[in-house]
Structure 1
Amino acid sequence: MALEQVHMAAPICLIENRPNGKLVVNWKAAEVLAGVRQPVVVVAIVGLYRTGKSYLMNRLAGKRKGFCLGATVQGLTKGIWMWCLPHPRRADLTLVLLDTEGLGDVEKGNTQNDSWIFALAILLSSTLVYNSMGTIDQDALEKLHYVTELTKKIRAKSSSGHCQEEENSAEFINFFPDFIWAVRDFTLQLEIDGCPVSADEYLEKALRLQQGDTKQMQRCSMARTCIHSFFRSRKCFTFDRPASGQMLHRLEELEEDDLEEDFLEPMAHFCQHIWETSQPKKVPGGRVVTGTMLANLMKTYVDAINSGDVPCLENAVLALSEIENSAAVHEAISRYEELMGQRCMLPTGTVEELLGWHTECKREVTGVFMARAFGDNVKQFQEKFEHELKRKKEVFCKRNEQMSFDYCYAVLTNISKELEDGICSGIYSVPGGYKCFLAMKNEIKKKYHLFPEKGIQADKALEVFLKSKEMVAKSILQTDKALTDKEKEIEALRAQAEAAQLQQKSLEQDLARLKQMVEDEKRHHEDEIQLLNEKWEEEKKMMEEEAERMIQQMVKDLLKKRFVLKAREIEKEIELLCLKE
């Protein structure tokens, strides 16, 4: 399943928004998402209702139809809808498109969860598209007031304190998605002060912080400040109307030739940019998220919202690591059983052969565990993994011994059939019968040693078989009138010595096997420590890189704030100079 791609014929509701404001996970959709074992690129779109969000998502899916479009003023998308598709550029990724309920719908009885829909889109996505109409002006920025509420709707850390909001702001940049502003029905020329500008330059100009200390200025700058602080990657696309007049109501039916060139060209660039640059979803620590992990994260966030809590990323990642690490143990152990069953043909001829297969399979499944496991509790789950693996190995060892013993005993039973028939018919209960009995027994042993692939319990099975014949042998010996008492005593002692020698050999073999098992465990324990250290180093490196990015962004934000303060001081000085003149 890990290499398979999910092909959904149509979108499905992932999170239902009930009229009472409760968010409910659609378990059928969650199961589809959980079945995506590939890393996921998650593109979510947000914006006011009836602004054409769904049409943009259908274009990203490479389809004309999919997410429901509407031709009236009534918003159709409710909650969050999902469409999982093969990534258009990379076979090792799955593209997950999330179309969200339109914000600010006047028909909603309860609009409080608009902020929760917006927060969930950010928490779940790796690229966030904000869709608006007309131009990026103060009105458009004020409609994006949801971004200013994020520090109250999302927590990065579980600890609380008076600086929690500032700490959240600093941490957000580590897991917030790339930000794309899609400006629809844009008919103006991209010019500033008579000079042509790109859409990105237009966006940055619109997001430039306003100078001044008045409440009005602070309110105007709030959304700008939040976008600067939270989204380190920002891009803008402007689109003219896709068609004119009544044709807009039939967008799903229109062919490419029916659409305006001024719409098609930026739309192609928009899709190309997202397909080629959008990164797989990650959580703090740099861990790439699969569809399975995303489904678990989503459930954690929705449960927190419905319980009245603020979704906490640290807690969600901890819960996710518990789920993933437990699943990693189960997956690796199941794979071990599968590989051992395929490769190791029981019974093996030697212990070394079994341990060799065990080592080979363990090396492979340890990679399976390490590839999926992550977080601070990896060591705890690795110990559980090693314990389960040791238990499974012991099961295979016991099965190997039992299969060898059963086979060997069956061979002995088969080749001793003539001996058994003779005992039953009494042919050995005559003078000289004991020598005949011994000759037959030695013949059986010769035949037995010639049988191939008996396994590691060959001597043990022979020991048990001969022990089962001791009473019969003693009886035949004592009743054999051809032997003197002295000869009988010598034969009895010889039989005891033979049995003791065979038992000693069996014990020595058991001891040698035990020694091999101990040495094998010691070697594997050293390998485990090395692998765990490598895993720690890998996670440490990702954490350090993440911390460095956060520090750089904090320094950048600090310098920007100082620049704004300095600019305000200069502005005041200029005003004072003007007043003096």
Structure 2
Amino acid sequence: MDSPMCLVENVDSVLRVVPMAIDYLMGVKQQVVVVAVVGLYRTGKSYLMNKLAQKKTGFALGATIQSKTKGIWMWCVPHPEKTDHTLVLLDTEGLGDVEKGDSKNDAWIFSLNILLSSTLVYNSQGTINNDAVEKLQYVNELTEMIKVKSPTGNEEEEGTQFVQFFPDFVWTVRDFTLQLEIDGREITPDQYLENSLQLRKGTSKKINDYNLPRECIRKFFPKRKCFVFPSPTTPDNMQRLESMDEAELSESFREVADTFCRFIFKESRVKTVIGGHTLTGEMLGHLVNTYVETIAKGNVPCLENAVLAMAKIENQAAMDEGLAVYQKGMEDVKDLFPVDINQLTEKHLSSETQAMQAFMKRSFKDENGEFLKALAEAISNHSADLFKQNKDASEKKCKALLEKLSAPMDQGMKDGMYATPGGYELYCNHHDNIVAQYRAEPNKGVRAEEVLEQFLKEKSSESNSILQADNKLSENEKTIQAEKKKTAELEQEKAAFKQQKAEMECTIENIGKGQEKYLKEMKEKMEEERKQQKQEFNRTLERRMQEQKDLMEKGHKEKADLMRQEIEEIKKKNQLEKDHSNQNQMALLESLKQQAEEQKKQMEALMQERSPVKVVERLCIVL
């Protein structure tokens, strides 16, 4: 993307997605690190975004008191440090724009950035004082602007889950002119931020009003970072900041800006949703659509519902991709039809494994295995069709070959060549020569013995007529020849059945191998999801425990006790969700095992049947 494009328009306080930008985002298949900047209008947010894009220009800076950025603008660039990742930069409309005068609209803009980003940069000017903290008023409204789960009647409990998906928080203070000191002791920007967020003791309304925004920031953004930027240049030069050469900016400003960029590049995480699932640009695009549509309808965005909707779309796409991988994998062998059963089943097994891997890589939250089973069924149907095509190609080739080889003998029959004394011996010589040439022909496929069996049966009455008409042979010799012919037919029937039996045994063996790989892939996928969930939970728990420790150290025992209770509730809920997830996964694995066993039993039952036609027809159905 050479330059930013508007992702979410804000026209007359109505939000709507921009189709072209969504289409671009949907085309990003890499995992995304999403950095959004919010803050009051005309505070220099766009400069930071251009700096992160490693471009001098891009996001409009503006040089007047008017806000240049409307809605949410997006710039997708290659991540400077994470290979195969895309850095998505979101520059947002300035909050508190006097020309707009709509705080509700500002709150939605702020909430959207919370929902979409993995790192949220809050940009302010001057100092972090009470006024600056209170201007971050939208944090106080988040529990009403965003829902984690579908309403359960226990809204307070839901608030404890916010931290699981909230982005990391970076506060950038622009045009900072004070000394970083407390009581004559030099402090870091991070210490400056934490000191500004300290709670006061007491229960008066004034103290509660003072503590409320700070409690919200501490609660919802447990991982915090601060950068203080001196003025980049003199006030007279600020209006031409975009056109100024980097060397013209103050050295101290450039140092902080470089440190800020290095931090963002190194520390900003890949965007995830509840459950620890990482997002691609395409998945992020689905979320943008869902959230903006929900807001436009006057409803409150629900993260759980949005993720489930996205999962359904992604799982369907994963299923389609898996089937496409299977179909493409089978194209090479399809061009070679007819092929023997080993070649076909091995290619089927290989392509099925690749299809399942493609599905597993993209799918998530397919907790009941709905899309996994649908993929297995689609592959089964397609493979059944391929096995039938291979059988038909074999039958067509074999019949054409026998027709060609037997043409001289058929002509001899019409000419009466065998209607003479000794004609049966001549007929048998020609007949045996046809069979020998037929057997010598390579690559006849899975129907070779069965088609030959049918050919011999078709020629049986013809052969018997010639035998009975040959007056050179005695009755005893005719009886011996008839028995010999009958034995040959039975041997051929046995050979046909042996081929079919070998075909089914090979198929049963490959079904077993396929299921082993299939279940292995499934278990690895489940283990990966459990690992993601554990990492997310541990990160959440660690931050909450640190917050509790800080409260206790600062003498806020009552608040620390409430935090401890909240931590215990989080642990209990996590254990319940973990148990429920394990039960679903075990049930799914058991269902897949039973399905595999049933398929093998059907195949083994077919092996007990003697009818070649039934065996082959039902074999295709089972496959």
Do the structures match in fold with TM over 0.5? yes
The question of whether the paired residues in 2 share the 8 Å contact of 1:346 and 1:403 is answered with no
Corresponding position of 1:210? 200
Corresponding position of 1:96? 88
1:157 has 2:149 as partner: yes
Inter-partner Cα distance in structure 1 for 2:267 and 2:492:
72
Deviations 1:357-406 (A, max 9, x none): 33333333322222222225253332223222333332332233233333
Inter-partner Cα distance in structure 2 for 1:96 and 1:133:
25
Say if 1:460 and 1:22 are closer, same or farther in 2 by CA, change over 3 A: farther
Deviations 1:171-200 (A, max 9, x none): 111111111111112222222222222111
Inter-partner Cα distance in structure 1 for 2:172 and 2:412:
96
Say if 1:390 and 1:102 are closer, same or farther in 2 by CA, change over 3 A: same
2:363 to 361, 373, 384: 373
Say if 1:480 and 1:151 are closer, same or farther in 2 by CA, change over 3 A: same
Inter-partner Cα distance in structure 1 for 2:453 and 2:348:
28
The question of whether the paired residues in 2 share the 8 Å contact of 1:433 and 1:480 is answered with yes
Moved more, 465-474 or 283-292: 465-474
Deviation at residue 516 of structure 1 after TM alignment: 3.2
Deviation at residue 39 of structure 1 after TM alignment: 1.0
Inter-partner Cα distance in structure 2 for 1:28 and 1:468:
68
TM-score by length of 2: 0.82
Partner amino acid, structure 2, of 1:270: F
Say if 1:343 and 1:47 are closer, same or farther in 2 by CA, change over 3 A: farther
1:192 has 2:175 as partner: no
Deviation at residue 276 of structure 1 after TM alignment: 1.3
Inter-partner Cα distance in structure 2 for 1:424 and 1:71:
102
The question of whether the paired residues in 1 share the 8 Å contact of 2:176 and 2:228 is answered with yes
**Aligned CA-pair RMSD:** 2.8
Moved more, 50-59 or 543-552: 543-552
Inter-partner Cα distance in structure 1 for 2:425 and 2:378:
53
Partner amino acid, structure 1, of 2:174: R
Partner amino acid, structure 2, of 1:196: E
Moved more, 504-513 or 184-193: 504-513
Which consecutive residues of structure 2, in runs of 5 or more, have no partner in the other structure? 560-623
Say if 1:544 and 1:275 are closer, same or farther in 2 by CA, change over 3 A: closer
1:397 to 387, 393, 417: 387
Deviation at residue 270 of structure 1 after TM alignment: 0.8
Inter-partner Cα distance in structure 1 for 2:557 and 2:443:
88
The question of whether the paired residues in 2 share the 8 Å contact of 1:169 and 1:230 is answered with no
1:322 to 301, 312, 323: 312
Moved more, 526-535 or 97-106: 526-535
Deviation at residue 213 of structure 1 after TM alignment: 2.4
Deviations 1:408-458 (A, max 9, x none): 333333333433444455544555444433322211211121122222222
Inter-partner Cα distance in structure 2 for 1:318 and 1:409:
54
- What is the SS of the residue equivalent to 1:24? strand
Inter-partner Cα distance in structure 1 for 2:22 and 2:454:
58
- What is the SS of the residue equivalent to 2:104? coil
Moved more, 411-420 or 63-72: 411-420
Deviation at residue 487 of structure 1 after TM alignment: 6.3
Corresponding position of 2:249? 259
Deviation at residue 552 of structure 1 after TM alignment: 4.0
The question of whether the paired residues in 2 share the 8 Å contact of 1:115 and 1:146 is answered with yes
Deviations 1:97-116 (A, max 9, x none): 11111112222264422111
Please show how residues 136-151 of structure 1 align to structure 2 within 5 Å: 136-151=128-143
Partner amino acid, structure 2, of 1:407: K
Corresponding position of 1:12? 5
Deviation at residue 565 of structure 1 after TM alignment: 6.5
Inter-partner Cα distance in structure 2 for 1:114 and 1:466:
86
Which consecutive residues of structure 1, in runs of 5 or more, have no partner in the other structure? 1-7, 570-581
Please show how residues 308-319 of structure 1 align to structure 2 within 5 Å: 308-319=298-309
Corresponding position of 2:322? 332
Inter-partner Cα distance in structure 2 for 1:76 and 1:343:
59
- What is the SS of the residue equivalent to 2:160? helix
Corresponding position of 2:59? 67
- What is the SS of the residue equivalent to 1:212? coil
Inter-partner Cα distance in structure 1 for 2:136 and 2:41:
13
Deviation at residue 76 of structure 1 after TM alignment: 2.2
Deviation at residue 472 of structure 1 after TM alignment: 5.1
Say if 1:413 and 1:9 are closer, same or farther in 2 by CA, change over 3 A: farther
Inter-partner Cα distance in structure 1 for 2:546 and 2:95:
32
1:454 has 2:409 as partner: no
Inter-partner Cα distance in structure 1 for 2:294 and 2:457:
68
Deviation at residue 301 of structure 1 after TM alignment: 1.6
Please show how residues 461-472 of structure 1 align to structure 2 within 5 Å: 461-470=451-460
Inter-partner Cα distance in structure 1 for 2:454 and 2:72:
70
The question of whether the paired residues in 2 share the 8 Å contact of 1:170 and 1:550 is answered with no
Inter-partner Cα distance in structure 2 for 1:244 and 1:503:
99
Please show how residues 372-451 of structure 1 align to structure 2 within 5 Å: 372-375=362-365, 377=367, 379-423=369-413, 425-429=415-419, 432-451=422-441
Deviation at residue 282 of structure 1 after TM alignment: 1.0
Say if 1:156 and 1:430 are closer, same or farther in 2 by CA, change over 3 A: same
Deviation at residue 560 of structure 1 after TM alignment: 5.0
Inter-partner Cα distance in structure 2 for 1:471 and 1:113:
91
The question of whether the paired residues in 2 share the 8 Å contact of 1:170 and 1:554 is answered with no
Corresponding position of 1:226? 216
Partner amino acid, structure 1, of 2:306: A
Say if 1:238 and 1:497 are closer, same or farther in 2 by CA, change over 3 A: same
Moved more, 98-107 or 453-462: 453-462
- What is the SS of the residue equivalent to 2:172? strand
Inter-partner Cα distance in structure 2 for 1:343 and 1:217:
76
The question of whether the paired residues in 1 share the 8 Å contact of 2:272 and 2:278 is answered with yes
1:307 has 2:300 as partner: no
Inter-partner Cα distance in structure 2 for 1:242 and 1:566:
40
Corresponding position of 1:275? 265
Inter-partner Cα distance in structure 1 for 2:409 and 2:234:
102
Moved more, 189-198 or 359-368: 359-368
Moved more, 459-468 or 247-256: 459-468
Inter-partner Cα distance in structure 1 for 2:398 and 2:547:
77
Corresponding position of 2:601? none
Corresponding position of 2:588? none
The question of whether the paired residues in 1 share the 8 Å contact of 2:111 and 2:142 is answered with yes
Corresponding position of 2:71? 79
Say if 1:545 and 1:350 are closer, same or farther in 2 by CA, change over 3 A: same
TM-score by length of 1: 0.88
Corresponding position of 1:287? 277
Say if 1:159 and 1:515 are closer, same or farther in 2 by CA, change over 3 A: farther
